[in-house]
Amino acid sequence: MTDVVLETLRLTRRFDSPPERVFDAWLNPEVAARWLFTTPGSERHTTALDVRVGGAWKMTDRRDGVDYTALGEYRVIDRPRRLVFSFGMPQFSPEFAEVTVEFAPDGDGCLMTLSQDRVHTDSIGPLTAGWAAMFDALAGLVAAA
Amino acid sequence: MVELSPPALDSVFHALADPTRRAMLRSLAAGERNIGELAAPHAMSLAAASKHVKVLERAGLVRRRIMGRSHLCRIETRPLAAADDWLRFYQRLWSRSFDALDDILCEEPAPSARSDGESS
């Protein structure tokens, strides 16, 4: 069993706010609901964040009458340095990616780096076996649609 | 939008994760090559080069045809387009999100932050 993790996407952005504030914007439901997985034309947005390691997060955004859901699980919560969570959008793909966000002080601001990895299916171990079964079921549904 | 199943896309990213295989693809982009030609710049055996080509084949990035004793490889660009679509989709999603986050952080200065409302 190989454990292949492929970093496929990396973005860096500087904010004029200290790392603590930028970090909290990801986990504070009131703040996160205004920018994360939402769009200006959103008709309804729901946010459920169980902010603890192993806790689930789920955000649903309604656009043109259709609900779009992004969900995952928190893996690392290290305020204000590092946040790691899994992330999937089941409507589009049965796959889950792992997202790592790092926050570094930069003058009186913060340099935030996001990297998104595709976790190779081979690396799905016993811990995520339940998820693997769910992904398979979703893949079947997507294929049948 | 070019669609590829997630396992197929995984194998594309896996194939692209290796610098030798990326170099092989660059070489193939210029035209067909046999295994010996692909191995030459990397000081590797034909067997080792063949292994890399197999990974590229599994990802659908390379087609191989046998001409006598020579195995000729050709690049297939469709899976690359799919990988590119995937990257662009998430890049757009995150970039837009960060724009919105920036707006929020600017409009609500934290108590400890500078109190001047002017942008420098």
What does A102-120 look like in DSSP terms, one character per residue? EEEEETTEEEEEEEEEEEP
Please give the C-alpha separations between residue A39 and each of A62, B7, B80, B91, B93, in angstroms, as whole numbers: 9, 29, 29, 15, 10
CATH code at position B87: 1.10.10.10
Residues of chain A numbered 75-134 and touching chain B (CB < 8 Å)? 93-95, 97, 108, 112, 114, 116, 118, 120-121
C-alpha A126/C-alpha A22 separation (Å) is: 34
Residue B84 pLDDT level (bands cut at 50, 70, 90): confident
Please give the C-alpha separations between residue B47 and each of A119, B36, B44, B69, in angstroms, as whole numbers: 28, 10, 8, 15
Q: What is the pLDDT of residues A104-138, one digit of tens each?
A: 999 999 999 998 886 544 333 333 333 333 334 33
> Does any domain span residue B80?
yes
Residue B42 pLDDT level (bands cut at 50, 70, 90): very high
Residues of chain A numbered 30-59 and touching chain B (CB < 8 Å)? 31, 34-40
> Does any domain span residue B72?
yes
> Does any domain span residue B42?
yes
- Closest by Cβ to A25, choosing from B91, B104, B112: B104
Q: What is the structure's pLDDT at A130?
A: 35
C-alpha B79/C-alpha A55 separation (Å) is: 35
Residues 6+ away with beta carbon under 8 Å from A36: A26, A59, B97, B101
A62 token code pair: 């309604």
- Our CA angle for A31, A36, A38, nearest 5°, is 110
Q: What is the pLDDT of residues A33-84, one digit of tens each?
A: 999 988 878 888 999 999 999 999 999 999 889 999 999 999 999 999 999 9
> Does any domain span residue B67?
yes
> Does any domain span residue B111?
no
> Does any domain span residue B116?
no
More confident residue, B31 or B3: B31
Domain holding B39, by residue range, is 1-106
> Does any domain span residue B115?
no
ipTM: 0.73
* Predicted confidence (pLDDT) at residue B104 exceeds the cutoff of 90: yes
- Our CA angle for B27, B28, B32, nearest 5°, is 125
Residues 6+ away with beta carbon under 8 Å from B45: B39
Q: What is the mean pLDDT of residues B69-98?
A: 87
Backbone angles phi, psi at B44, to 5 degrees: -130, 160
* Number of domains, chain B: 1
> Does any domain span residue B120?
no
Taking contacts as CB-CB distances below 8 angstroms, the residues of chain A near B103 are 35
